[in-house]
């Protein structure tokens, strides 16, 4: 296979909410850093601009037609988002509906579909959508910062290509509730989410007793971590939950949401992970894809709301891992000027360096508290118990 990694990206991918944490610089800088590091020119790596917006009739095979029409209306007339009836579709003033909201979301859906299709049809071993990762929306409702759930779209594209069993692993700090909901009663799709507990963080779900529908017991696995859990919580969850669950499920393709909004500088969470964790996580997923899925892997970036810090470096390192390319020890010399041009200053000095101290809202979670959270998952999961 000549293409090891297909990266589907356009600089204007992503949502364009005004004055909002979902900042396009997150993935733009990740691509710029990958480019200046030589990753995008490595053998077996292809960068594709992504298709145009997904047509309404194709969207309607995955999302409720009435929901799609409502999003089109609120995009054409954003002022209507303030009306009470907008709430039934998940539209709120918090996401600042804007004129291109439908088309931007439909482009991300098309990019996710292409990512799934490339791997599903055997044209690429792996694929990545740096601007993707919307995981809260349902077939009839938007949620969080996403409209059309593109993680679900990537899975559905794989299914359309004849892929039978798919494991979805969600590392975002927020529970992947929408993707879990899409496949709640599907025994051939496993959803595993590691996140800050819904007791403390949006969307308020993702507890260990959420284990799948009546026709798919064990198809959902959730690790709800206490605040201030730190790096070791993700390491423990990977070793004790994610890897065993994926191995037990034996999927044909691995799909991952690689949010880094659990980083300590992120303004929307409290897990306090650090940069050295991310290459470890990506390496573990890489090994799991090779071991269980013959290397087949579809990735979407996900959350990360400190656009100049963790997301660019973490996702460039993700691209390197997926492409099988070793990064130079030092970051590219031009990175400082690239970051400065994007109004990010000062730039990070190393791939895994921390340029600011960790500030906490409370004391660090103890290892025992983290282990108890993981044990609750193992004890309730039909797949792991």
CATH number at residue 312: 3.40.800.20
359 in a domain, yes or no? no
372 in a domain, yes or no? yes
355 in a domain, yes or no? no
For the chain, how many structural domains are there in total?
A: 1
Please identify which residue in the block is written with the tokens 């879990």.
Answer: 180
- Structure-derived torsion over alpha carbons of residues 359, 361, 366, 372, reported in degrees to the nearest 10: -130
354 in a domain, yes or no? no
Identify the pLDDT of residue 55: 97
Partners of 8 in the β-ladder: 48
Q: Look up the pTM and report it.
A: 0.97
Distance CA 146, CA 137 (A): 7
Query: Which two structure tokens, joined as six digits, stand for 250?
Result: 């034996």
Domain of 298?
5-349+364-380
Which DSSP letter does residue 276 get? T
Identify the pLDDT of residue 19: 79
Active site residues: 136
Q: How far is CA 163 from the centre of its chain?
A: 21
Q: How far is CA 185 from the centre of its chain?
A: 22
356 in a domain, yes or no? no
Residue (of 125, 171, 170, 164) closest to 152 by Cα position: 170
Q: How far is CA 163 from CA 46, 61, 158, 180, 246, in A?
A: 23, 18, 5, 18, 16
- Give the Cα-Cα-Cα angle 129, 62, 162 (nearest 5 degrees): 70
Distance CA 136, CA 366 (A): 29
Identify the pLDDT of residue 163: 98
Sign of the CA dihedral with 171 first, then 5, 352, and 266 last? negative
312 in a domain, yes or no? yes
Ramachandran region, residue 286 (left: φ > 0; alpha: ψ -120 to 50; beta: rest): alpha
Q: How would you write 41-76 as a 3-class SS string?
A: HCCCEEEECCCCCCCHHHHCCCCCHHHHHHHHHHHH
292 in a domain, yes or no? yes
Identify the pLDDT of residue 83: 87
Partners of 223 in the β-ladder: 194
Identify the pLDDT of residue 1: 65
120 in a domain, yes or no? yes
Output the tens digit of pLDDT for each of the chain's 385 residues: 689 999 999 999 999 887 788 899 999 999 999 999 999 999 999 999 999 999 999 999 999 999 999 999 999 999 888 888 899 999 886 677 899 999 999 999 999 999 999 999 999 999 999 999 999 999 999 999 999 999 999 999 999 999 999 999 999 999 999 999 999 999 999 999 999 999 999 999 999 999 999 999 999 999 999 999 999 999 999 999 999 999 999 999 999 999 999 999 999 999 999 999 999 999 999 999 999 999 999 999 999 999 999 999 999 999 999 999 999 999 999 999 999 999 998 888 899 999 788 988 889 999 999 999 999 999 999 999 7
Is the separation of the CB atoms in 11 and 28 below 8 Å?
Answer: yes
Distance CA 309, CA 193 (A): 24
Residue (of 247, 250, 257, 116) closest to 178 by Cα position: 257
Query: Which two structure tokens, joined as six digits, stand for 119?
Result: 């791997």
Residue (of 196, 245, 190, 246) closest to 223 by Cα position: 196
Distance CA 107, CA 119 (A): 19
Q: How far is CA 378 from CA 43, 90, 289, in A?
A: 41, 33, 22
Query: Which two structure tokens, joined as six digits, stand for 105?
Result: 């979301």
Q: How far is CA 230 from CA 245, 260, 262, 304, 370, in A?
A: 22, 12, 8, 16, 10
């Amino acid at each position: 296979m000549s293409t090891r990694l297909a990266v589907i990206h356009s600089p204007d991918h992503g949502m364009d909410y005004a004055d909002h944490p979902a900042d396009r610089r997150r993935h733009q800088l990740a691509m710029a850093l990958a480019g200046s590091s030589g990753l995008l020119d490595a053998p077996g790596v292809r960068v594709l601009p992504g298709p145009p917006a997904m047509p309404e009739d194709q969207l309607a095979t995955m999302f409720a037609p009435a929901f799609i029409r409502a999003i089109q209306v609120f995009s054409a007339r954003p002022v209507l988002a303030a009306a009470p009836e907008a709430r039934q579709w998940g539209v709120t003033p918090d996401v600042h509906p804007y004129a291109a909201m439908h088309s931007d979301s439909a482009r991300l859906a098309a990019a996710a579909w292409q990512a799934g299709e490339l791997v599903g049809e055997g044209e690429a071993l792996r694929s990545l959508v740096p601007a993707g990762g919307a995981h809260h929306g349902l077939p009839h409702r938007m949620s969080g910062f996403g409209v059309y759930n593109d993680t679900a779209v990537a899975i559905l594209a794989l299914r359309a290509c004849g892929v039978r069993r798919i494991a979805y692993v969600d590392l975002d700090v927020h529970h992947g509730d929408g993707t879990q909901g899409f496949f709640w009663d599907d025994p051939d799709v496993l959803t595993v989410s590691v996140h800050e507990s819904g007791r403390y963080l949006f969307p308020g779900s993702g507890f260990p007793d959420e284990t799948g529908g009546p026709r798919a017991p064990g198809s959902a696995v959730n690790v709800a971590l206490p605040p201030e859990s730190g790096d070791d919580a993700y390491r423990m969850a990977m070793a004790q939950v994610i890897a065993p669950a994926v191995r037990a499920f034996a999927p044909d393709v691995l799909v991952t949401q690689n949010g880094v909004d659990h980083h300590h500088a992120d303004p929307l969470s409290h897990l306090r992970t650090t940069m050295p964790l991310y290459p470890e996580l990506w390496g573990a997923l890489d090994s799991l894809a090779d071991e269980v899925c013959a290397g087949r892997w579809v990735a979407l970036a996900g959350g990360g709301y400190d656009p100049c810090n963790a997301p660019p470096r973490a996702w460039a390192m993700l691209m390197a891992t997926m492409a099988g390319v070793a990064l130079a020890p030092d970051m590219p010399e031009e990175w400082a000027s690239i970051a400065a041009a994007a109004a990010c200053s000062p730039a990070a000095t190393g791939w895994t360096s921390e340029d600011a101290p960790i500030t906490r809202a409370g004391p660090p979670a103890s290892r025992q508290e983290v282990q108890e959270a993981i044990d609750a998952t193992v004890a309730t999961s039909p797949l792991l118990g």
